[in-house]
Amino acid sequence: MADHEGKKILVIQTHGVETPTRTYSPLFYAMAAAAMEMEVMVWFTMNGTNQLKKGEAEKVQLDKTSDVTLKTMLKMAMESDVKLRVCQQSLELWSMKKEDLIEGVEILGATSIIDLALSYDHTMYF
């Protein structure tokens, strides 16, 4: 396995709970990168924001035979030291406030995402 320790990956997630099949993979890639000792951030914007609303991710379950939900994936990502960040402007799009967000998510503005995109080694866009 090549050594990528310390590299930085930014994952941008624009898909929300209304498209379940587009929700798991970006988190899976993020966890893979974290397992490879990279610094990883998932940035939720546009529809992706609604994944982070309390009570929503629990309803998304791709495999009905498994007890893994989107909430499980988000929790596993955070436990893997993947940072979850959400777009301030997108919160307003969904009439969400800070207290509507699941625990562990931080809010950043649009200029921050531009800074991050320029400073990270690679951006994956979903």
Partner 1 sequence: MEHEKINECVIMKDLYYSVEDNTWIRVNEDGSVTVGMTDIAQNLAGPILHAKAKSAGTDRKKGKPIATVESGKWVGPVKSPISGVITEVNEKLVGDAQLINRSPYRDGWVVKMKPESLEAELKELVTGDNAVAAYKTKIEHDNIKACTHIEGSDTYE
Which residues sit at the interface with partner 1, rule CB under 8 A? Answer: 1, 3, 28, 31-32, 35-37, 63, 66, 68, 76, 80
Residues 6 or more apart in contact with residue 38 via CB below 8 angstroms: 4, 5, 6, 7, 8, 9
Nearer of residues 61 and 112 to partner 1, judged by Cβ? 61
- Nearest distance from C-beta of residue 38 to partner 1, angstroms: 11
Beta strand segments in the chain, E: 8-13, 39-44, 83-87, 106-108, 122-125
- Amino acid, single-letter form, for residue 7: K
- Nearest distance from C-beta of residue 34 to partner 1, angstroms: 8
- Nearest distance from C-beta of residue 31 to partner 1, angstroms: 5
* Nearest alpha-carbon partner for 74 in 109, 48, 111: 48
Nearer of residues 76 and 116 to partner 1, judged by Cβ? 76
Nearer of residues 46 and 76 to partner 1, judged by Cβ? 76
